[in-house]
Structure 1
Amino acid sequence: MATAYSYAASRSSARTTPQDKNRTSGWRLAGFASLFVPITAAQMPLAVHLPAIYAQQFGLSLAVIGAIFLGERLWGAVADPLIGALSDRTHGRFGRRRPWIVAGAALFGVSGAALFFPASSLVSPLYLTASLFLFYLGWSMVQIPYLAWSGELDSGYHGRTRIATFQTVAGSASLLVVLILPTIIDQINPEDGALKLAAMGSVVLVSLIVSLAVTLRSQAEAPAAPSTSARLSFRQTLGALFGHPLLRRVLLSDFAVTTGQSIRSALIVLFVTHYMGLPHWASGLFLFQFVFGIAAAPIWAQIGYRIGKHRAAVAGELAQAAINVGLLLVVPGQIGLLLALTLAQGLTQGSGNLMLRSMVADIADEHRLRTGEDRTALFFSAFSLSTKAGMAAAVGIALPLVGWLGFDPRVASNTTEALHGLLAVFALGPAVAHLLSAWLIHGFPLDEAAHTEIRRALDERDHAAQPAE
């Protein structure tokens, strides 16, 4: 059977455009994308604030908290592919994706209330473990089928970029809000960790209730495409995920992107406070970057429309690598160049994530044409794993490395060598990761012409498979 690789000669195929007359209206697509608000809003509190608050406010040790978060990552490595595979095999009057999203949202909301609004008398390692594991399970039950539904909403090469752009804007806006709230509370009562946790949790839970209703009403699920979707063992599931050469390239590229971004996030406060000597700028710079990050997605979508997804991803990654190398020129105490580079970082933020997420549905189309199996949600579950792995790797690499180089955040004055070690990791760690991501996705064969041919072949086969009236 024909595969994506056989379409390389089809460069003269009719060009698809993001201005397709049948595309979903902007308002309806904005409603559909709104579910990305609670999904993304939960990332920052869990990655940055929650561990410190549970340690300082509720007395859990950092070692225990770290072990609980590590255990969740291992749990997610099993649960996420299972959710994807089960969603692909779900059939019923309510569709394949909606039942999972609704059930996951209920679990996400209840466990989120326990996680963000804990009673001091109840908090213990077991309490955090149970609420965190259930919260992430609900999160995956929402996110993975929802991303698969996103890929099925529009079968066009550029249409998928458009959907991912709306979602990225919604996610960036939600991150901006959850960054602003702790900053405001720091000016009022910086010692009240429970208030910060409750404020951020309120954003997550209120937006979940509103966006769930809006998203489910905004779009109808397309009928499931003809597919064998045979039941796979766990070993076969991993083989389907990591044995596909195109998906493997995208996952490795996403892992590199996320690792680079997470190294920057993990070290930015330490860098601004200790190397720059400007602790009052630490939260503000992070916020400054995300303000411009909201504008980044539409800019990169237009670039993707013109030069293709993988070329836009490469361009964005090369730009981010150059920006991070530029940090080596920053002088302590002088904010001007750092502000300029932070602005540029915001405008390139998410370029790779946006394009790579849009490419996963294209790969699922290629896989279905070649094998007859629809594994869309399963493929998106792997994308979730690469993102989580990148975030974990960044913390596991960056923090021990700067410590090995002599930097100690607990002392008021580090040596010059230690501060230069912090600078090197903060600048060159992300730069190397973004260069690796660009190299992995360079020359990706599944471009617009190839995908157009794949969709034509799928549409013809699906039409032929329909029973005669």
Structure 2
Amino acid sequence: MKTRQLAAYGALGLPLAFAALPLYVLVPDFYSRQLGLALPVIGSVLFFTRLLDTLQDPFLGLWVDRLAQRRQLASALKLAMLLLGAGFVTLWQAPGGSPHLATWLSLSLVTVYLGHSFLNIALMAWGSRLSPNPDDLARAAAWREGCALVGVILASLLPTVLLQWSSQGMAVFSGLFGLLLMAGVGMLLTQAPPWQISHAQQRPRWQLGWQDRAISRLLAAFFLNGLASAIAATLSLFFIADHLAAKPWSGLFLAIYFLAGAISLPGWVGLSRQIGAAASWRCAMTLALLAFAGVGMLGPGDLWAYGLICLFTGLALGADLALPPVLLAARLPASEPMAAWFGVWSLLAKLTLALAGLLLPLLSYLHYQPGVAGSTSALVWLYGGLPCLCKLLALGLMVERATDRQPRPAAAIAETGGTP
């Protein structure tokens, strides 16, 4: 499989991640500090919109599979692109101080989540059907996640720069996102390797999620590992600004984290070829756990120490992004409709974000107030402790399963067609 084709496949990962970071990291801070919306209200809106987003994913996955079989996926991808672009623009153009600000936030998020989820599920399912060779799947995942990390790095730096340059910085940010999104969808539809559609495809057998031990443990580990990341992502900007007293450095810390993840991707893919994807993922989780364990001991001004934590947890991030989807594709029978299962996969990922959103009302109840000195005790405990606990449980699930499931044989993929 040519590198140019894999790059075209992975290109859509850039704008999807470019949108995802502001959605999950910057929205709470932007709507509380810039627009004055109360933390309990933001937390409630995030929880219910993320919950809706979570519940829709399996249905979107079934829809993607059906459209792919009928060769109608291209038109649906273009419609999802328009929904995502329109919702993203309105999200950052909210009227500050409006009594309808919570409604504006809710409707914008629902629109964005619908378009983003459809595109993301379709992209992951497409990548799992490029080839019967697990090494090709790992390369495709590395390109997708590498482009995604480039998008995240851009999204972590540009808002700060653009807002300092102009009060309309987020409008410029949204326009740039629209251009990247159109380019990504266009490259996927015209230059990427075709989705190898199985004509023997059947309805998903959801019972595999609890009957097959390898699949059930993988899903549980993925959920717990994702919950650790979601908690850290939701609370990181508050921790940096109010506990470390380093708000001007927030963009740099995020850039270090995601740049380290991008740099580490080829290494994790190479390691997975030597010792297997599951063993490589265990190594990454161990690295992240050891690095993040010391975050609770930091205090105001500990910028170098926190930078090193961002570096080492970022190095582990590459494995978190590239390897679990490959494990899922390898452990599922070839007759299973992949988009439906990646809808469940996406459901689990987003459920972690919805649960993490509940920490904001909890922090308010525990007397944390953004920007108020001396109120960060609960923030430190939740930010430093919960991710480590979740990561440890996920690692335990994967350690108990000492070997990878054998990948699907090439003969298992039935007669195939072209690009949907």
Paired position in structure 2 for 1:202:
175
TM-aligned CA deviation for residue 26 of structure 1 = 1.4
TM-aligned CA deviation for residue 132 of structure 1 = 2.4
Matched residue pairs, number?
416
The counterpart of 2:151, out of the listed 174, 177, 180, is 174
TM-aligned CA deviation for residue 60 of structure 1 = 5.5
Paired position in structure 2 for 1:413:
374
Paired position in structure 2 for 1:16:
none
CA distance change for structure 1 residues 205 and 118 in 2, over 3 Å: closer, same or farther?
farther
Q: Give the Cα–Cα distance (whole angstroms) in 2 for the partners of residues 425 and 437 of structure 1.
A: 18
Q: Give the Cα–Cα distance (whole angstroms) in 1 for the partners of residues 257 and 68 of structure 2.
A: 43
Q: Is the counterpart of residue 301 in structure 1 residue 242 in structure 2?
A: no
SS of match in other structure, 1:90: helix
CA distance change for structure 1 residues 243 and 62 in 2, over 3 Å: closer, same or farther?
farther
TM-aligned CA deviation for residue 319 of structure 1 = 0.7
Q: Is the counterpart of residue 349 in structure 1 residue 317 in structure 2?
A: yes
Q: Which runs of structure 2 are paired with 1:2-401 in the superposition (5 Å)?
A: 24-54=1-31, 62-90=39-67, 94=71, 97-117=73-93, 125-188=102-165, 192=167, 195-227=168-200, 229-230=202-203, 239=207, 244-330=212-298, 332-364=300-332, 366=333, 368=334, 373-397=335-359, 399=360
CA distance change for structure 1 residues 222 and 445 in 2, over 3 Å: closer, same or farther?
farther
Q: Give the Cα–Cα distance (whole angstroms) in 1 for the partners of residues 237 and 103 of structure 2.
A: 30
TM-aligned CA deviation for residue 44 of structure 1 = 1.6
CA distance change for structure 1 residues 405 and 125 in 2, over 3 Å: closer, same or farther?
closer
Q: Give the Cα–Cα distance (whole angstroms) in 1 for the partners of residues 69 and 242 of structure 2.
A: 57
The counterpart of 1:439, out of the listed 390, 396, 407, is 396
TM-aligned CA deviation for residue 352 of structure 1 = 2.1
Q: Give the Cα–Cα distance (whole angstroms) in 2 for the partners of residues 297 and 91 of structure 1.
A: 29
**Is residue 90–residue 108 contact of structure 2 (8 Å, CA) maintained in 1?**
yes
The aligned amino acid for 1:378 is A
CA distance change for structure 1 residues 243 and 381 in 2, over 3 Å: closer, same or farther?
farther
CA distance change for structure 1 residues 409 and 110 in 2, over 3 Å: closer, same or farther?
closer
RMSD, matched Cα = 3.1
**Is residue 276–residue 333 contact of structure 1 (8 Å, CA) maintained in 2?**
yes
The aligned amino acid for 1:423 is V
Q: Is the counterpart of residue 423 in structure 1 residue 396 in structure 2?
A: no
TM-aligned CA deviation for residue 264 of structure 1 = 2.0
TM-aligned CA deviation for residue 111 of structure 1 = 3.0
Residues 18-40 of structure 1, C-alpha deviations (whole Å, 9 max, x = no match): xxxxxx21122111100011211
CA distance change for structure 1 residues 326 and 115 in 2, over 3 Å: closer, same or farther?
closer
SS of match in other structure, 1:154: coil
Point out the structure with max Rg over C-alpha: 1
Q: Give the Cα–Cα distance (whole angstroms) in 1 for the partners of residues 363 and 70 of structure 2.
A: 54
CA distance change for structure 1 residues 358 and 52 in 2, over 3 Å: closer, same or farther?
same
TM-aligned CA deviation for residue 82 of structure 1 = 0.9
Instruction: Show structure 1 runs of 4+ deviating over 6 A.
Output: 119-123
The aligned amino acid for 2:241 is T
Q: Give the Cα–Cα distance (whole angstroms) in 2 for the partners of residues 53 and 269 of structure 1.
A: 11
Q: Give the Cα–Cα distance (whole angstroms) in 2 for the partners of residues 341 and 434 of structure 1.
A: 15
Q: Give the Cα–Cα distance (whole angstroms) in 2 for the partners of residues 423 and 119 of structure 1.
A: 32
TM-score of the aligned structures, taking structure 2 as reference length: 0.87
Q: Give the Cα–Cα distance (whole angstroms) in 2 for the partners of residues 88 and 277 of structure 1.
A: 48
The aligned amino acid for 1:442 is V
Q: Any gaps of 5 or more consecutive residues in structure 2?
A: none
**Is residue 175–residue 290 contact of structure 1 (8 Å, CA) maintained in 2?**
yes
**Is residue 275–residue 332 contact of structure 1 (8 Å, CA) maintained in 2?**
yes
**Is residue 74–residue 189 contact of structure 2 (8 Å, CA) maintained in 1?**
yes
Residues 114-133 of structure 1, C-alpha deviations (whole Å, 9 max, x = no match): 33445789975544433322
Q: Give the Cα–Cα distance (whole angstroms) in 2 for the partners of residues 412 and 329 of structure 1.
A: 17
Q: Any gaps of 5 or more consecutive residues in structure 1?
A: 1-23
Q: Give the Cα–Cα distance (whole angstroms) in 1 for the partners of residues 323 and 207 of structure 2.
A: 24
CA distance change for structure 1 residues 429 and 49 in 2, over 3 Å: closer, same or farther?
same
Residues 5-53 of structure 1, C-alpha deviations (whole Å, 9 max, x = no match): xxxxxxxxxxxxxxxxxxx211221111000112111112112333454
**Is residue 320–residue 348 contact of structure 1 (8 Å, CA) maintained in 2?**
yes
Calculate percent identity across the aligned residue pairs: 22
Q: Give the Cα–Cα distance (whole angstroms) in 1 for the partners of residues 126 and 40 of structure 2.
A: 38
Q: Give the Cα–Cα distance (whole angstroms) in 1 for the partners of residues 190 and 99 of structure 2.
A: 38
Q: Give the Cα–Cα distance (whole angstroms) in 2 for the partners of residues 127 and 422 of structure 1.
A: 28
CA distance change for structure 1 residues 315 and 116 in 2, over 3 Å: closer, same or farther?
same
**Is residue 38–residue 203 contact of structure 1 (8 Å, CA) maintained in 2?**
no
**Is residue 125–residue 342 contact of structure 2 (8 Å, CA) maintained in 1?**
yes
